[in-house]
Amino acid sequence: MASATFLVQANTALSNTHISLSVAQTQALRSQLKTQRGILNANNINQLCAQLNVTNDALLQGLVPLASEFAVAPVSNFHVGAIVKALDESGEVNFYFGANAEFNRQALSLVVHAEQSAINNAWLNGAKKILKIAISDAPCGYCRQFMNELADAREFDILLPEQQFKLADLLPHSFGPTDLGNQYSLFNPAPQARSFNNTEVEQQLAAYALAAYVPYSKNYSAVKITTFNNGDFYGSYAENAAYSPSLSPLQSALSQLFLAGLSFDQHTVKGITLLETAGHENQAGVAQAVLASFVNLPPLELISAPLSE
């Protein structure tokens, strides 16, 4: 079974060339990140910058090792962390954490990369414009392609421990949405005015499905993971012009669960629901494959509902 436990390094302090925290400060920050599901808001960031006497970007890069602690990597044992610096709907700067997630005995293509996790975290939680992404290691080609689907792909900075790039530096002669005749992009989706013709579909789940970025398959879909004691976690389907780097709704929701420091097991999870658009379904097989890495989980509830015209 895939391990999915947030690794709390109880007796260690976070110290690097950018920031230095005591053991107590590091423990408090770890706890805060779990409670806030991998997000530091503008007030959190300003307080930390003042407390540590560092710049916003120094804090961003300094916290990347903490992001990597959320990684679930039973196959590679290689923990990658990423943090997106983005503007919310109020124009405030927030940090959105992410880490890689892998699944035992399943195709390696099902993994969630740290960059995907951080971008997904920002996207699901209302970020409007990505300014920078700080990563613990150089992004692989898969992640570069995933980032190329973003509305701000040509603008934001990619910060590595010792280097800084624009995406065009790492992905020259790229293939993206416009090559498939798609004028929209992740963080700049097509206007959505339709609804599901099924009154039994939970309103929140339907909202996440309708917010999915699905210009290629048209399968507006989302997943809800219900826990016994920690609320609900949602994920939306995010497609990519190269198809393979698309992020499934279950992967999207699981990444959010892991960023809250929770284990994906029968003691935590009460129910799992996948909502898809009737006539465009393509996510049940992927979801079942991921779930096969785990034991004693509740069965996946499948809902297929038509969209109004």
Tell me if 149 sits within 8 A of 157, measured CB to CB: no
The answer on whether 143 is annotated among ligand-binding residues is: yes
- Burial of 89: CB neighbours in 10 Å, binned 0-12, 13-18, 19+: exposed
Helix 114-124 and helix 249-259, axial crossing angle in degrees, nearest 10: 90
Q: Which of 63, 54, 53 is nearest to 32 (CA)?
A: 63
The answer on whether 18 is annotated among ligand-binding residues is: no
Sheet holding 222-227, edge to edge: 232-236, 222-227, 269-277, 300-305
Instruction: Tell me how far apart the alpha carbons of residues 34 and 32 are, in angstroms, rounded to a whole number.
Output: 5
Please state the three-class secondary structure of 82-139 as a single string: EEEEEECCCCCEEEEEEECECCCCCCHHHCECHHHHHHHHHHHCCCCEEEEEEECCCC
Tell me if 300 sits within 8 A of 190, measured CB to CB: no
Phi first, then psi: give them for residue 63, nearest 5 degrees: -90, -5
The answer on whether 100 is annotated among ligand-binding residues is: yes
Pairing of strands 81-87, 93-99: antiparallel
Q: Give the length of the chain.
A: 309
The answer on whether 149 is annotated among ligand-binding residues is: no
Instruction: Determine the 3-state secondary structure of 262 from DSSP.
Output: coil
* Active site amino acids: 115
Q: Which helix (H) or strand (E) holds 189?
A: none
Residue 146, CB-side half-sphere exposure with 13 Å CA sphere: 20
Q: Which residues make up each annotated binding site for Zn(2+)?
A: 113, 140, 143
* Residues of each annotated binding site: 100-102, 113, 140, 143
Q: Which residues are annotated as a binding site for substrate?
A: 100-102
